[in-house]
Amino acid sequence: MRTVLVLMDTLRRDALGCYNPEGAAQTPCLDAFAQDSVVFDNHWIGSAPCMPARRDIMCGRYNFLERPWGPVEPFDVTLVDGLRAGGTYTHIATDHCHYARTGGEGYLQLFNTWELFRGQEGDPWVSRIDEPNNMPETFYGRVREQYQKNRGRWPREEDMPSPRTFRAACDFIDENAQDDDFFLMVEAFDPHEPFDVPDTYMELYGGSDGLDRDYFEIPPYKRVSDTDIPDSAVDYVQRRYKALVTMTDHWFGTLVDKLKERGIYEDTMVLVTTDHGYFLGERDYLGKNYMHLYNELAHLPFIVHFPGGARAGERAGQLTQAIDIMPTVLEAHGCPVPPEVCGASLMPLVTDAEAPTRDYGLFGVHAMTVNVTDGRYTYFRAPVPGNQPCFEYAAIPHTIRHKMGTECPDEIECGRFLARTNYPVYKIPCRKPANIDQREDCLEEVHDSLLFDLAEDYGQTHNLVGEDAAAEEHMVALLRRGLIEHEAPREQFDRLGLEPVEDAR
């Protein structure tokens, strides 16, 4: 069995023609791939943002209920460990720079072999002390000096990190096409910001029309109305995002072409998805993390080419999430699914279009709202005022931008606090969500609980909390059930204003 998992960071669902024929980016390669595959219409975010989503994939269970952004933990039972135990060769090619920073440890090292292409975002790669000579004089949003240094290292499109990632994946296929048992993970940082894309792709979307400054590639994580960014610049960055999606689509196409060239496309399982979406001015938002997880962030693309082209061109309405990838790949390779895994294998869908998956999905950012969907309704449960009690649980207390508990070391406990393992972990008071760093009140945008009926209101504009008592009661009960079944720490019930239950730990 051969499996290729392609993860494109920040790939919005509505950017793909197979989901949004009107107004999508130009994605001919992904659209053609969708014709050969099953397109999942009800795929949802789990833990957000980047590294929490990857731990969901690797462990088959939610990260966000226990901790924020962080490494693979010593007690984690992972997808790659299971594959390697069964004799499957594993390799990852990626330019996801967060694997090389504090809080991203342990993921790459799971694989038999791995390649990391440097330079994305603020990756401390090019060691030039002086300011680079390509700093823009005028700009909207943010400019990273380190990225400006890095980007000087790729004079051609094919030298950029995400194209190099896809090229490396093609090299792996060339070298190993004769092998019938491998797992290849291809992880492109694009189309994540900065939206750095050659002019040839921008010309497909109107070039630099509407931009009255030199640079706008990194939006601030703020409301548009709280910035000096005019509508014309918002339109420009939306077009710039689409241009980067088109470039990423092109390089994805080279990978599919290579699989076909080597004669292994038909009997290879290829899964394509993302970790989260992004706001590009919709609802007055730019960026991610600090707002409710509306559909722009949470309703994700997921396209699977099953071996033999099974069910090619069909749509699947079953509810799915990233935690389902681990059991799917393990079952496809004939490996046992560990009992710790909470995801559902999708392999039954190969032969049975009506096979069940799950009837709800939880999702969220640690220490923010906890959200649930049943595929029709989305319910965002806001924390109580003060957002307490709230803790981070970790054996390795690293997270994005800092180490956990440095401001309250005398309050940290250590013990066997997680139901699924006897491995001792730190229990660290959390007073500020780790992923929120550009505002004083981290929860100012999520003080209220929200309920939406997607069948009638996909745009999520009409809050049904207090209006539809039956739907609200149903979703609250589903949320409580989810917290219990996924072994959420007991204080999550208190933090969310839910009556605790005896079997919650």
CATH of the domain at 168: 3.40.720.10
- Is 502 within a domain? no
**For a pLDDT cut of 70, what percent of the chain falls above it?**
99
Only one residue has tokens 């603020």, namely: 122
Cβ–Cβ < 8 Å for 72, 60:
no
Q: Do residue 178 and residue 93 come from a single domain? A: yes
Q: Do residue 322 and residue 369 come from a single domain? A: no
Other Cβ atoms closer than 10 A to 209: 11
Q: Do residue 197 and residue 327 come from a single domain? A: yes
Residue 131, burial from CB neighbour count under 10 angstroms (0-12, 13-18, 19+): exposed
Average pLDDT of span 158-182: 98
Residue 95's pLDDT is 98
Q: Do residue 196 and residue 255 come from a single domain? A: yes
Q: What is the domain extent for residue 126?
A: 2-352
Would you say residue 505 has pLDDT above 50? Answer: no
Q: Do residue 384 and residue 343 come from a single domain? A: no
Q: How far apart are CA 475 and CA 473, in angstroms?
A: 6
Q: Do residue 184 and residue 244 come from a single domain? A: yes
Would you say residue 167 has pLDDT above 90? Answer: yes
Confidence of residue 502 (pLDDT cuts 50, 70, 90): low
Residue after which a domain boundary falls, among 296, 317, 352: 352
pLDDT digits (tens, 9 = 90+) for 76-114: 999 999 999 999 999 999 999 999 999 999 999 999 999
Would you say residue 382 has pLDDT above 80? Answer: yes
Confidence of residue 504 (pLDDT cuts 50, 70, 90): very low
Residues with Cβ < 8 Å from 203, sequence gap 6 or more?
Answer: none
Average pLDDT of span 178-186: 98
Phi-psi region of 468 (alpha: psi -120 to 50; beta: other; left: phi over 0): beta
pLDDT digits (tens, 9 = 90+) for 317-343: 999 999 999 999 999 999 999 999 999
Residue after which a domain boundary falls, among 294, 319, 352: 352
Average pLDDT of span 288-308: 97
* SS3 readout for 49-61: CHHHHHHHHHHCC
Average pLDDT of span 264-283: 98
Confidence of residue 436 (pLDDT cuts 50, 70, 90): confident
Confidence of residue 278 (pLDDT cuts 50, 70, 90): very high
Q: Do residue 396 and residue 377 come from a single domain? A: yes
Would you say residue 142 has pLDDT above 80? Answer: yes
Q: Do residue 414 and residue 267 come from a single domain? A: no
Cβ–Cβ < 8 Å for 229, 268:
no
Angle of helix 325-332 versus helix 50-59 axis, rounded to 10? 40
- Give me the chain's average pLDDT, please: 97
Q: Do residue 213 and residue 327 come from a single domain? A: yes
Residue 439's pLDDT is 78
Q: Give the count of domains, the chain.
A: 2
pLDDT digits (tens, 9 = 90+) for 221-266: 999 999 999 999 999 999 999 999 999 999 999 999 999 999 999 9
Average pLDDT of span 310-315: 98
C-alpha 302: how far from chain center: 12
Only one residue has tokens 């793909």, namely: 16
Q: Do residue 381 and residue 339 come from a single domain? A: no
Residue after which a domain boundary falls, among 292, 326, 352: 352
Q: Do residue 398 and residue 298 come from a single domain? A: no
Q: How far apart are CA 371 and CA 256, in angstroms?
A: 35
- Is 357 within a domain? no
Q: How far apart are CA 3 and CA 259, in angstroms?
A: 11
